[in-house]
Amino acid sequence: MRIKGFTLTEIAAVAAIVSTLSLGGYQLVKKGKDSVCINNLKQIGQAIAMFEADHDSLPEAVFYPRDANDPRGIHSLLKKYGASPQLFFCPALSAEFNKYGTNYIWNEAASKRKEASNASRTWLMTEITSLYPELPTPHTGGYGILYADGHTAFGRDIGFPPFERPVLASNISIEREKEEKTLEKKEDVFETKVSTELGSYQIFNIPKVAQAGKPISITIKAVDREGKIYESDEKLKIIDFTGSVEPNEIHLQKGIANAMILFKKSHAANTLIVIDSKGRWNASNEFTVEPAQVSSLEIFPPTHIYAGIVANFKIVFKDLYGNPILKDGIKISIRTDVDAEYSSEVVSSAEKDTVVPIIFKKAGETRVSFSVSGTLIKESLSVVVRPGPLEKFEISQIKSPIEAGTPVSITVKALDKYGNRTKGFLISQDAYNPKYVQEDMSSGIWMETITFEKAVSETFIEISDGMGHTGRSNTFSVVPSQPSRIKLISDNLIAIQEHEFGIEFSVFDRFGNVISGLESKLMVEDGTDGKITTLGDHYLLTLNFKEPGRKKIRIYLSDRRETVFLDFYVEVLPKKPVLKKEGM
């Protein structure tokens, strides 16, 4: 049952801490420390005001910390706001409380919000001994109290709900009548008639189900064979099946010990055992220790991760003490640094391991983060994603045009479906997966040099491995190389004097490709006025001979006169004579 922010179990658990100190210790504490306590509470109030300004709420501290390092203790939450450790100790209380980091308790009911209408009457902090009104108060006016509106005062009315207080370990009678009424109500408190022979140790108040890290209040009693209290001041050793119980020793006072204990390790069938210095022991009933709340995640990635293939990440939820937690309904959010396919949220099941499937698309090292939705619990790790199965080949860009016969360097890559360079094989996924010590990542790429001899206006390169994996380059053109020879196309080498004569010819490179567009560079030696014009991809030489006879003609390139030329002869016939008729 939860009342006003804290549970009756929490109050009883903290009260058990108070009950382990002797009443004489409280009576010997000197008073006169009023001003120091009030000053401490005022400074704590100032730190709380700064916290509230940053978070728009009061600190969500626990009722009382389990130890000095408890991150939810009020002393831990206010550390960054200038609240020094000594402020959290009322100097009028016993130093035996110092191991908890503070001797003030915190009103959890005020953690979420405070109402302006009753802030001056809502207490935030006061001494832990206020749980036992029958004890001497630490100050003349009662207890030092810090209120929600920031003012401090001494008072006695703290207003706890009714709860069963553990028996005070003392032989001093203080308000005996009130103590007797309390004892009548407690079912686990026994008459204290003195016996002279120990019969056994009895363990009470062990719950059927405990939670790791959560203190429980127990009573241990030394009894004789008749079940009566055996007054012993024996120190008893405490052990359990997990070896994680704290504390591991308890001190009987007059045969009774009330103590707060906790278990750090979960166990389905645990038992608490007490042993004295003579080896006499007894065990409690069997009980279960369940894990605490989720505090961290442990991630187990697959041994090998390949792009395009499902990679299953196993998630183990753990509490503060490393206990694994199997529980329904824990929501996990996932984030990766690279493009990948996965569900935005995965929900855990108590029946099986939580597995998050992810399909990565980009090879290389990347980080994967998992977090418990709605909390600050997060875990991330680096993984290496290797390329997936071979999907295709890629040929590097080829610049166009290419001159026939000129070497061209190309790069061929083997790629998976997402464009990652792959080496063509994967290590099989099985129960005995090997791990790489050294991996060759240079494979999957080839540097090639090729040439083209045939001139073409538009072409491409296509490759295949014969198993359905292909690759195709961009489209490019191949142009002829440098001129290498000139060749006549016509075979009519007879001309008539003073008649126009034409002959066709072509220019070729060394691979036989026809070269056009050279009319400005082509020259002719014939002793006449020769003219060269273009006819498609070849040329027309036009001549007009003035004199008959055998004529030598040379066609050549102006910039390669001595290497690229063509000599041939034309037979020029006299023009036909005009015959005069007789009588004319």
Q: Could you give the percent of the chain with pLDDT greater than 90?
A: 57
Domain positions in the chain: 2-155, 187-290, 296-386, 392-479, 483-573
Res 292: pLDDT? 93
Distance CA 325, CA 305 (A): 26
pTM above 0.85, yes or no: no
Radius of gyration of the chain (CA): 50
Q: Which CATH class is domain 296-386?
A: mainly beta
Count of CB atoms situated within 10 Å of the CB of 253? 18
Res 133: pLDDT? 81
Low-confidence ranges of the chain (pLDDT < 70): 1-10, 12-13, 16, 19-32, 111-117, 162-196, 424-442, 527-528, 577-584
Res 163: pLDDT? 61
Written as one letter, the residue type at 523 is M
Count of CB atoms situated within 10 Å of the CB of 506? 17
Token pair recorded at residue 423:
């080496």
Count of CB atoms situated within 10 Å of the CB of 112? 10
Domain 483-573: CATH superfamily, name plus number: Immunoglobulins (2.60.40.10)
| Full DSSP string of 461-492 | -EEE-SSS-EEE---EEEE--SEEEEEE----
Q: In b/e form, how buried is each residue of 400-426, taking b as 16+ CB within 10 angstroms? A: eebebbeebebebbbbbebbbbbbeee
Do 145 and 158 contact (CB within 8 A), yes or no?
A: yes
Res 249: pLDDT? 93
Distance CA 363, CA 25 (A): 69
Mind listing the pLDDT tens digit for each residue in 341-351? Answer: 999 899 999 99
The CATH number of the domain covering residues in 187-290? 2.60.40.1930
Distance CA 53, CA 395 (A): 62
Q: How far is CA 461 from the centre of its chain?
A: 44
Cα separations (Å) of 273 from 86, 270, 284, 289, 295? 37, 10, 6, 15, 29
Fold adopted by 392-479: Immunoglobulin-like (2.60.40)
Res 30: pLDDT? 45
Backbone phi and psi for residue 295, each to the nearest 5 degrees, phi listed first: -120, -25
Res 162: pLDDT? 67
| 3-state DSSP assignment of residue 337 | coil
Res 146: pLDDT? 93
DSSP 10: H
Domains 296-386 and 392-479 in one fold: yes
Res 5: pLDDT? 53
